Amino acid sequence: MDTTDNINSLVDEVRDGADEPLTLQEFQSIVREAINQPPWRAQADREADYADGNQLDSDLLRRQKALGIPPAKENKITPAIRAVCGYEAKTRTDWRVTPDGDPGGQDVADALNYRLNQAERHAKADRALSEAFKSMIVTGVGWVEVASAQNSIQFPYKCRHVHRNEVFWDMHAQEPDLSDARWLYRRRWVERQRAAQLFPEHAPIILRSLEKWIAGHAGEMLEGDLSTGLLNAANAERAWTATEDSWYNDENETIAITEVWYRRWVRTTILRMPDGRAVEYDQANELHQVAVTTGRGRLVEELMGRVRQAFWMGPHQLVDRPSPYPHCHFPYVPVWGYREDMTGVPYGLVRDMIFPQDNLNSSISKLRWGMSATRTERTKGAVAMSDEQFRRQVSRVDADIVLDEVHMAKQGARFEVKRDFQLNDQQFQLMQDSRQSIEGVSGITPAFQGQKGTARSGLQEQTQLEQSEISIADLMDSFKDARTQVGELLMALIIADMGKEETTIVIEGDVLNPPRTVVINAPEVDPHTGVAYRSNDIKRTRLKVALEDVPSSSGFRAQQLNALSESIKSLPAQMQQVMMPFMVDLMDLPRKKQVVEAIQQANGQADPEQVREQVKQELMYELKERELSVKERMADAQIEKLVREAVQVGVTSAFAAMQTGEKIALNPLVAPIGDVVMKQAGWQPPNPAGQDPNYPVPPQSVSVEQPGGVPGDTSPTTPQLPLQADSAAAGANQGIETLRAD
């Protein structure tokens, strides 16, 4: 029985707790774990003070004052930090949404890219990331919150920089994006009235906590007549082991609200597709069922973390709910610098710069003190004043020391003032070494800070600049990952707000590209299968956020402009005109689009020589067109003439054939003679044989009185043409077509 109970208890420990709220014991465990983490925040605060120029604490100033050493400070840390932050601003990159292996999702990616870049500007993402970058450089970690806006009047999304001392996280997490972290919480001090408005259902607890209502209502609790909620709150507050000052403050009437983000690890069924897509399986989704039934999808059991959010005020739980965001990450993005190997404690560039900075400050103080300090050797009673008066007088520039004449007349009496200039030389050398040490431990050279260094040529200065960039390359790489994660969280919020509704996105054009419209989630029907679907489905398109390879800062654009200008100089004039709009796009002009349009219009207007050449070409083209038209009409006339000549030849041939038949009929002996004449002339029988013309024959034969068509015409092939219709041939028996004996 005991074994069964133990097994049941073990099963309860691994149960699916995705919907279970955070208990008070779990919250206490998280807080205790955060308290027992390796201490590093006090050191980080000191590093931040040095970066801000606060390098002389009160204890040091008090000791220096007691010794008479004047305070001195030569801040070498702040310029180095500013140089690195300026380098980040100069090489800042933009987000670009690309389809992750999905060639059909380019339109969706372009539309989301436009929305994401719009959110980048209005959500103040660049500013938040820059502030987090500075915190990362100085202390080793910075935080950026990516959240929805608090009200509808504001822009829908907000990016804020969060101070490092407000955020506590699971240091046992191994992933840089904290995707495997068990918990993360943020602690803020909020006014009591505002907290009561944020959580109106817990207003009595929030308002009475500052009045120590446990002691004031102790009797009422014993006798009843108190709401159950307040009684439970009293029990929780009595069991809370932390001090009261850790979660409320009587003086300014503020309370500490703890925002806890934690994960519940559960077994989840995942639907995996052959193309690499993976979604949580939903039994109610018909498409998921079809994918499993047809074998296109495969179900696998995997362990996943469900993110939940809770708000606590000391021991009182105000809210506990699933994460309101569509992604599986905490809404706080860490920007990591360096981290210790054993403890995971973050640190930045300032840690190694503190000692040489202190050494430099102390060297300057001692050097100034040594230049003005004096050492006196005197016998007692040598000066005619008290010791305190003498010390004040001897340190003055216009010191006036009155010696005791009687005492100085004695044997062995002595009064001497000494200055040690040799020690000052050593301190000056130590000061120079401290300056070089700060540059050595940070890797930030004077050339990187825009100052004159040890370089004696442009090549040496460029080399030192590249060396500084190499020294912070790992920090820039870590910042790039954090910036990408911020873009992905923003994109997740944008996709969740767009949902499955049809959305028309007008992508504004730039200097070179015209504006265009993309419709997202447009309902359509497949004409072949009749299945309804959505084109440009934003939920099904696999996307990823990348960073542009080309930075978008004005400085880098100026470098690109110079490089492009040098390249264009060697191109022909026509190519220079083509490339001119791209050069204008790199310029910081207020009306670049109008300038490019004017250039394009000017390129369309040719010079006078080109105009003359174009007119000449137009005239030649018109003449050619006219010539072709004339040739076409001549060809039509020739064709018509050939048709008419063919008809005439056919009629003449038919008439000659009839004349030949008539002659043969009247004189049959003519036919053999005609055959011989034709053969001698080269006639051959047609091959294949000709066709019967099938001329119509009258029913009765007509006797021919006189051969020929007209009187006197005896030629079977060339009948005489009459001069007029009612007369015989002119000059009968005299025409060239009349056969005569000669």
The answer to which of 137-141, 273-277, 490-494 has the lowest mean pLDDT is: 273-277
Q: What token pair was written down for 720?
A: 């005489």
pLDDT tens digits, 8-56? 454 455 455 667 888 989 998 998 999 899 999 999 999 999 999 888 8
| Most distant CA atoms of the chain, gap in Å | 196
* pLDDT tens profile 569-615: 777 776 766 677 766 666 656 666 666 667 666 665 545 555 566 66
What's the pLDDT tens digit per position in 643-700?
888 888 877 877 787 787 777 777 777 777 777 777 777 777 777 766 666 656 555 5
Cα angle, residue 462 at apex, residues 461 and 465 outer, rounded to 5°: 90
Residue 592, Cβ neighbours under 10 Å: how many?
A: 17
Separation of alpha carbons 574 and 568, rounded Å = 11
Q: Cis peptide before 688, with omega less than 30 degrees from 0?
A: yes
Termini Cα distance of the chain: 156
Model confidence, pTM: 0.67
Average pLDDT on 484-512 reads 79
DSSP label at 433? H
Residue ranges covered by each domain of the chain: 37-180+333-349+441-547, 182-213+243-329, 351-440
Is residue 661 within 8 A of residue 701, CB to CB? The reply is no
Exposure string of 147-161, with b = 16+ CB inside 10 Å and e = fewer, is beeeeeeeeebbbbb
Which pLDDT does position 181 carry in this prediction? Answer: 93
Beta-sheet strand order (sheet of 157-162)? 157-162, 141-148, 332-336
> What is the band of 641 on the pLDDT scale with cuts at 50, 70, 90?
confident
Kindly tell me if the per-residue pLDDT of 229 is higher than 50. Answer: no
Gap between the Cα atoms of 158 and 122, Å rounded:
8
Q: Which residue has the higher pLDDT, 306 or 63?
A: 306
CA distance 237 to 317: 11
**Where does residue 308 fall: left (phi above 0), alpha (psi -120 to 50 degrees), or beta otherwise?**
beta
Can you read off the two tokens belonging to residue 32?
A: 């205790």
Written as six digits, the tokens of 539 are 């939920």
Rounded-to-integer distance, Cα 1 and Cα 10, Å:
14
Task: For residue 248, count other CB atoms closer than 10 A to its CB.
Answer: 19
DSSP state of 70: P
pLDDT confidence bin for 510, thresholds 50/70/90: low
Q: To which residue do tokens 């004005």 refer? A: 554
Of the segments 299-303, 333-337, 548-552, 728-732, which one has the largest average pLDDT value?
333-337
Q: Is 659 exposed, middle or buried (0-12, 13-18, 19+ CB in 10 A)?
A: buried
Dihedral-angle region of residue 687 (phi above 0 means left; psi in -120 to 50 means alpha; beta otherwise):
beta
